[in-house]
């Protein structure tokens, strides 16, 4: 588990991407990408193409829900899929303490431990989605298929 102080978040994401054969590049914006609307404006893409990375706790174990920007995650669907008793959103403090990434810049990859990841089915309608790269000013484009492969994730019906 990281405390957040022992690495540069963008470098960690870049290293993870490089180690998994990603050929694109991380882009830095002067504008924040803290919200889906901010990110859509900064990258010049529709909100549906913005990847929202949500950290959930399923029976207190971290799980990622990778959502198309405007979509909301259905916690009941995650609960059923994982056969657990309780699923809830992780607090911003937990996310930072656990991962070293702050809300608004949480990437879909780049964690010390393997975290189960579920990709919103709607993402697969687009050639590219735009994901945070460790801070609320860094992002990278990636195809949903490549993201699913490098995140070792699963395409799933998880939206409300």
Per-residue pLDDT, 6: 60
pLDDT score recorded for residue 24? 94
| pLDDT for the residue numbered 7 | 75
Residue 2 lies in a domain: no
Please state the domain count of the chain.
Answer: 1
Say if 39 falls within a structural domain: yes
- Per residue in 91-139, pLDDT (tens digit) is 999 999 999 999 999 999 999 889 999 999 999 999 999 999 999 999 9
d(CA 92, CA 24): 29
For residue 1, is it within any domain? no
**145 in any annotated domain:** yes
What pLDDT digit, counting tens, does each position of 14-46 carry?
999 999 999 999 999 998 888 899 999 999 999
Residue 56 lies in a domain: yes
Does residue 150 sit within a domain? yes
Q: What is the CATH number of the domain that holds 24?
A: 3.90.960.10
Three state DSSP letters for 57-122: EECCEEEEEEEECCCCECHHHHHHHHCCCCEEECCHHHHHHHHCCCCCCCCCCCCCCCCCEEEEHH
Domain extent for 125:
9-156
């Amino acid at each position: 588990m990281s405390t957040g102080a022992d690495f540069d978040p963008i470098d960690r994401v870049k290293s993870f991407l490089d180690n998994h054969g990603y050929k694109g590049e991380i882009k830095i914006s002067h504008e924040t990408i803290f919200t889906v609307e901010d990110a859509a404006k900064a990258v010049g893409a529709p909100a549906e193409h913005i990847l929202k990375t949500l950290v959930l706790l399923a029976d207190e174990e971290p799980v990622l829900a990778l959502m198309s920007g405007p979509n909301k995650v259905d916690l009941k669907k995650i609960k059923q899929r994982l056969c657990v008793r309780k699923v809830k959103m992780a607090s911003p403090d937990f996310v930072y303490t656990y991962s070293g990434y702050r809300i608004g810049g949480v990437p879909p990859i780049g964690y010390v431990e393997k975290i189960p990841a579920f990709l919103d089915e709607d993402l697969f309608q687009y050639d590219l989605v735009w994901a945070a790269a460790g801070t609320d000013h860094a992002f990278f484009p990636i195809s949903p298929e490549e993201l699913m492969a490098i995140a070792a994730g699963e395409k799933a019906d998880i939206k409300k």
